Amino acid sequence: MHVPPDALSLKVAAKNATVWTLIDVHQYSSELHRLRNTDFKSLWSGNDYVSVHLNGAVWNHFVQNDYLWEAGEKYSLNRYSKRQLFELVIREFFSTPTPALGSFVVENYARLPVSYQIGLQMRIGGQWGDGNRYAGDKKSVASCFMSETLKTCQAWVPARNCSVFLTTDDPEAGAIVSAALQSHGIVVVQSAGTTVHSEKSDGAESDHLKPFGDWYILSLMSRLVASRSGFSETASWFGNVPSRALTKVSTCLFTDESTDIPDGAELFQTEAH
């Protein structure tokens, strides 16, 4: 199974008549045993590339599939720990942005004043079939993020000489937080455009610019205030950026997240075979 040189090459690949197939692995979430038993080799035959969208929980079942196990053996992927694989993928696929992504990052990053920069990532949920990520109404959740961002700014820059790069899946919550922070004299920057969920994308390069660009910019920040999400977590690892994540809305509890990539567990669980 060949992987394209970068995550934003979908459009280029299409021009070269390369066939892309999106396997919506989430459809198997209620019957995870099917992930282990489905003949993906036959399902994917005839395609030059296969793009699989899934999350960490589903992955643990997905890699127990015989076909994936054989692929792991063939390419020696089962020799890598999760930490090693993450470092390998980051180095090979993400270290150098494509021209379009590079322009997006440079243009939006340049809008942030030269000051202490805070990356604010809010994954609220409630869209794209994703249930609300936090208990409570959006205003309460937004208030928690606003308060924590202010606290972070005051702790590190008493004069509040900080700026915020904001990214969220919920424009309403984003508008609430942005207005509140700006009322305190803090510059808030958001990239233009609408985030297209991976499961609704038709593979156009423009669909991926905002999420990848926002993620890349988060990795350049001084600190992150975020949801407990792989989006901000991996940005923190990539840029070695200290991060605090919201863990309890009722008390607006944020906890420090480790910037270290998890180690230990092997990518392919040997006990599965």
Buried b (16+ CB within 10 A) or exposed e, 76-89: ebbebebbeebeee
Average pLDDT over residues 83-92: 77
**At residue 214, does pLDDT exceed 90?**
yes
β-strands 243-248, 253-257: how paired?
antiparallel
Average pLDDT over residues 37-56: 75
How far is 237 from 253, CA to CA, in rounded Å? 22
Domains (ranges, CATH) in the chain?
Answer: 10-96 (no CATH), 99-257 (3.40.50.11350)
Determine phi and psi for 197, rounding to 5 degrees.
Answer: -65, 145
pLDDT of residue 117: 94
How far is 129 from 125, CA to CA, in rounded Å? 8
For 187, residues 6+ apart whose C-beta sits below 8 A from its C-beta are: 112, 113, 163, 164
pTM: predicted TM-score of the whole model, two decimal places: 0.75
Torsion of CA 199, 205, 210, 213, to 10 degrees: 120
Smallest CA-to-CA distance from 258 within 123, 28, 177, 232 is with 232
Confidence of residue 262 (pLDDT cuts 50, 70, 90): low
**pLDDT tens-digit profile of 242-260?**
999 998 888 899 999 887 7
pLDDT of residue 53: 66
